Amino acid sequence: MAVMFGSGCMVAFLVFLFLLLSGRVNSEPTEDKQALLAFLSKIPHANRIQWNSSDSACNWVGVGCDANNSSVHTLRLPAAGLVGTIPPNTLGRLSQLRVLSLRSNGLSGEIPSDFSNLTLLRSLYLQDNDFSGDFPGSVTHLTRLTRLDLSSNNFTGTIPFSVNNLTHLTGLFLENNGFSGKLPSISADLASFNVSNNKLNGSIPDTLRKFPASSFAGNLDLCGGPLPPCSPFFPAPAPSPSVNPPPNPVHKKSKKLSTAAIVAIAVGSALALFLLLLILLLCIRKRQRQQPAKPPKPVATSRTVATEAGTSSSKDDITGGSMEPDRNKLVFFEGGIYSFDLEDLLRASAEVLGKGSVGTSYKAVLEEGTTVVVKRLKDVVVSKKEFEMQMEVLGNIKHENVVPLRAFYYSKDEKLLVFDFMPAGSLSALLHGSRGSGRTPLDWDNRMRIAHSAARGLAHLHVAGKVVHGNIKSSNILLRPDHESCISDFGLNPLFGTSTPPNRLAGYRAPEVVETRKVTFKSDVYSFGVLLLELLTGKAPNQASLGEEGIDLPRWVQSVVREEWTAEVFDVELMRYHNIEEEMVQLLQIAMSCVSTVPDQRPAMQEVLRMIEDMNRGETDDGLRQSSDDPSKGSDGQTPPAESRTPPSALTP
Ligand SMILES: *[C@@H]1O[C@H](CO)[C@@H](O)[C@H](O)[C@H]1NC(C)=O
Ligand SMILES: *[C@@H]1O[C@H](CO)[C@@H](O)[C@H](O)[C@H]1NC(C)=O
Ligand SMILES: *[C@@H]1O[C@H](CO)[C@@H](O)[C@H](O)[C@H]1NC(C)=O
Ligand SMILES: *[C@@H]1O[C@H](CO)[C@@H](O)[C@H](O)[C@H]1NC(C)=O
Ligand SMILES: *[C@@H]1O[C@H](CO)[C@@H](O)[C@H](O)[C@H]1NC(C)=O
Ligand SMILES: *[C@@H]1O[C@H](CO)[C@@H](O)[C@H](O)[C@H]1NC(C)=O
Ligand SMILES: *[C@@H]1O[C@H](CO)[C@@H](O)[C@H](O)[C@H]1NC(C)=O
Ligand SMILES: *[C@@H]1O[C@H](CO)[C@@H](O)[C@H](O)[C@H]1NC(C)=O
């Protein structure tokens, strides 16, 4: 009995001991331990790093655990003689790691991509190694990082904008590498920052200008902020003589301008950059004129640029006395989605989209990835006040089929408008671009949708906005991804007075505009009618391909229709769609009423819209036509009824 009791006691004790032991074993970070052992076994290292696998990892040199030893929180192996690349799938498994220091080793190659799994990491010290390749993409996923030190390595490529993913960063050390390109704007609230001794160029973003020059020294061509101001080594284009008062003749820069002008003409596509640099140059020159003794201040005041909405009337209420009201003021409209300033536009990469009669349009890609269209107006005749009043009207027009004007800039020498960028391009490009060479033709349903949505936009402009568009043409009808259209470039005629170049509306211009030089609601309707004819015929109104010299699209259509060749006028690309003849004829009739020679005989725009909507309702509500007339959807075997190709006789020109 006693023996039995004793052995029972013994068993209980052993079980207790086992539980105790296994409890201790469980408190060890077993998974982390394996990851660490895998790391060390695959990489050469100094002798003093001897991790005893039968000991708890929490006792190892360089390893720190959390309070109850359930995971590894810190790994510090500075100057531990580590050589070669970090083996993948080792350190990346330390999922609870807070601090990782591998500085002052001989590590090389790229940072493994599985570092992106170290999501709790606060500090990463990899300086003084031989790491190479691009800025490690995995690091931009470590959103809790507060300190990142990649200095004194062999990293190359650009510093990606995605470092802005690291919103908690307070220290960023990238010095002594081979980083190149421009410095991104970094929004994190950094206390320490160093990018010296790289190959960076371009201007220092505002967010980083608080750091001393030694943070930026030794780069290829950084400028601005604590470093010397960026100088326009690209010469500016020749300003038009009317807006360019002769500057102080002893001024050296005025000479540069004119030599520059020649080069500027040669390098057409870099024009956008020139323009923006010109603004900066002019600002610097003005400032120099006002304070001749002092060098231009680094752009501290440019931070005060009005990026808030609705500041267009702020020109008179100058706050802070010394601030100049006109300078660098990009005026945004309410409800806008952008927040950038002229400085950002200066740094944007720009590409010429098109040169029109009122100015040149650029596509500008800002650093943070926003893309906008900047229109640089030339030959504006109105005063600043009139300009601002017109902008106020245009900026308040909000409609899904009107491209919104987001901001404007007015100075004596430059007038800029900022619009949304529409990546799908214009109707003109869609209709006339690379015809025949394997392009998908614009089908009838999409043409109808474009006509309908453009009519909606224009009717809104006329009725709600009380604004004459003045420049309706297919290159100003821009496409949204859903194939609806938006009208752009509206309401600018008042800025140019009667100096509007006569061929501005070539092909779309109503006959009376030639004499009066005034665009009206009715002349917009005429232009819209020409646009409808363009959609129907596939012919560009301003191209001389209409057979006879000097005949415009409406006259050509009228002449063809009068001779009962109606089917001939339609775009050959539309001939593959069945059962659309009726609609095409209806739209043709609407178009013909718009292009009446007598303005009073043209319908109002909202009337045009109603007519288009009426024909739409009759034909597309059944939803069947769309599938039956699309040749790609299995109606190939179906032959069109022979009579559907004969011109209807009821057409009245
Ligand atoms: C590893 O640790 C165990 C027990 O903690 C010890 O007996 C052994 O000697 C150690 N081995 C080395 C190589 O230090
Ligand atoms: C032990 O660690 C786990 C996981 O981190 C945690 O949930 C638990 O509260 C810790 N216990 C103690 C006593 O710290
Ligand atoms: C955690 O590990 C350390 C080092 O091995 C040890 O001193 C400590 O007592 C352990 N703590 C717990 C709660 O197990
Ligand atoms: C991160 O961890 C998850 C699961 O823990 C794993 O499936 C994934 O492959 C890891 N990512 C990388 C880049 O290794
Ligand atoms: C930024 O962080 C988020 C969240 O971790 C991640 O989904 C995203 O991919 C990161 N972006 C980049 C460019 O690393
Ligand atoms: C840095 O990388 C370049 C090429 O990537 C190589 O030629 C150079 O030797 C590397 N320098 C160091 C110190 O590793
Ligand atoms: C900066 O350098 C890159 C090449 O490293 C070059 O393409 C770019 O034009 C330079 N930009 C400026 C503003 O000098
Ligand atoms: C930046 O790094 C360089 C090179 O290591 C150093 O000389 C300079 O003092 C550092 N600047 C700052 C502000 O830390």
Per the model's pLDDT, the better-predicted residue between 154 and 380 turns out to be 154
Residues with CB under 6 A from ligand 5: 140-141, 143, 162, 165
Q: What is the pLDDT of residue 629?
A: 36
Provide mean pLDDT across the span 408-432.
87
Strand 83-84, strand 63-65: pairing: unpaired
Task: Provide the β-strand partners of residue 200.
Answer: 181
- 151 has pLDDT over 70: yes
Range 26-41 burial, b when 16+ CB lie within 10 A, else e? eebbeebbebbeebbe
Task: Provide the β-strand partners of residue 222.
Answer: 202
Q: What is the pLDDT of residue 142?
A: 96
531: which DSSP letter?
A: H
467-509 pLDDT, tens digit per residue, is 999 989 998 999 988 889 999 999 998 888 765 555 566 788 8
Query: Do 408 and 417 contact (CB within 8 A), yes or no?
Result: yes
Per the model's pLDDT, the better-predicted residue between 421 and 232 turns out to be 421
Taking the centre of ligand 4 as the mean of its atom positions, its distance from the CA of residue 97, in whole angstroms, is 15
AA letter at 178: G
Q: What is the pLDDT of residue 231?
A: 62
From atom 7 of ligand 6, which residue's Cα is the shortest distance away? 154
Q: What is the pLDDT of residue 547?
A: 52
530-554 pLDDT, tens digit per residue, is 999 999 988 888 764 555 555 788 8
Instruction: Sort residue 405 into left (φ over 0), alpha (ψ -120 to 50) or beta.
Output: beta
Q: What is the pLDDT of residue 287?
A: 47
- 431 has pLDDT over 90: no
The pair of three-digit structure tokens given for residue 219, joined into one six-digit string: 């780069």
Taking the centre of ligand 8 as the mean of its atom positions, its distance from the CA of residue 215, in whole angstroms, is 5
Q: Is the CB of 81 under 6 A from ligand 7?
A: no
Query: Do 299 and 343 contact (CB within 8 A), yes or no?
Result: yes
Query: Do 284 and 229 contact (CB within 8 A), yes or no?
Result: yes
AA letter at 76: R
What percent of the chain has pLDDT above 90?
A: 40
165-186 pLDDT, tens digit per residue, is 999 999 999 999 999 999 998 9
Per the model's pLDDT, the better-predicted residue between 513 and 151 turns out to be 151
Listed as own residue / partner, the contacts of 514-521 with beta carbons closer than 8 Å and 24 or more positions apart are 519/468, 519/469, 519/470, 519/493, 520/468, 520/599, 521/462, 521/468, 521/604, 521/605
Other Cβ atoms closer than 10 A to 413? 14
The pair of three-digit structure tokens given for residue 308, joined into one six-digit string: 């808030």
Q: Which atom of ligand 8 is nearest to the CA of 197?
A: 4
581-631 pLDDT, tens digit per residue, is 888 888 999 999 999 999 999 999 999 999 999 885 544 444 334 433 333
Provide mean pLDDT across the span 216-233.
82
CA distance 554 to 261: 42
Q: What is the pLDDT of residue 505?
A: 66
- 257 CB-near residues (< 8 Å, 6+ apart): 235, 236, 238, 239
20-55 pLDDT, tens digit per residue, is 444 444 468 899 999 999 999 999 988 878 899 999
Per the model's pLDDT, the better-predicted residue between 353 and 112 turns out to be 112
Helix/strand/coil for 544: coil
The pair of three-digit structure tokens given for residue 312, joined into one six-digit string: 């267009």
Per the model's pLDDT, the better-predicted residue between 231 and 55 turns out to be 55
- 420 has pLDDT over 80: yes
Query: Do 73 and 96 contact (CB within 8 A), yes or no?
Result: yes
Q: Which atom of ligand 2 is nearest to the CA of 67?
A: 14
Other Cβ atoms closer than 10 A to 639? 8
Provide mean pLDDT across the span 138-166.
95
Helix/strand/coil for 159: coil
Q: What is the pLDDT of residue 412?
A: 82
Q: Is the CB of 593 under 6 A from ligand 7?
A: no
Other Cβ atoms closer than 10 A to 209? 17
Range 332-371 burial, b when 16+ CB lie within 10 A, else e? bbeebebebbbbbbbbbebeebeebebbbbbbbebbeeee
What value does the mean pLDDT of the chain take?
A: 76
CA distance 587 to 609: 11
Query: Do 82 and 107 contact (CB within 8 A), yes or no?
Result: yes
Q: What is the pLDDT of residue 314?
A: 31
- 228 has pLDDT over 50: yes
- Pocket-testing residue among 180, 182, 199, 201, ligand 7, by greatest number of atoms within 8 A of Cβ: 201
Q: What is the pLDDT of residue 635?
A: 34
167 vs 101, 140, 186, 547, CA distance in Å?
A: 21, 10, 9, 64
567-588 pLDDT, tens digit per residue, is 777 887 787 777 788 888 889 9
- Based on the number of CB atoms within 10 Å of its own CB, is 446 exposed (0-12), middle (13-18) or buried (19 or more)? middle
- 252 has pLDDT over 80: no
Provide mean pLDDT across the span 356-361.
81
> By mean pLDDT, which of 8-12, 150-154, 346-350 is the weakest?
8-12
**How much is the pTM?**
0.47
- 131 CB-near residues (< 8 Å, 6+ apart): 107, 108, 109, 110, 111, 150, 153, 154, 155
310-340 pLDDT, tens digit per residue, is 333 333 222 223 334 445 578 888 766 777 7
From atom 1 of ligand 1, which residue's Cα is the shortest distance away? 52
74-93 pLDDT, tens digit per residue, is 999 998 999 999 999 999 99
Q: What is the pLDDT of residue 4?
A: 45
442: which DSSP letter?
A: P
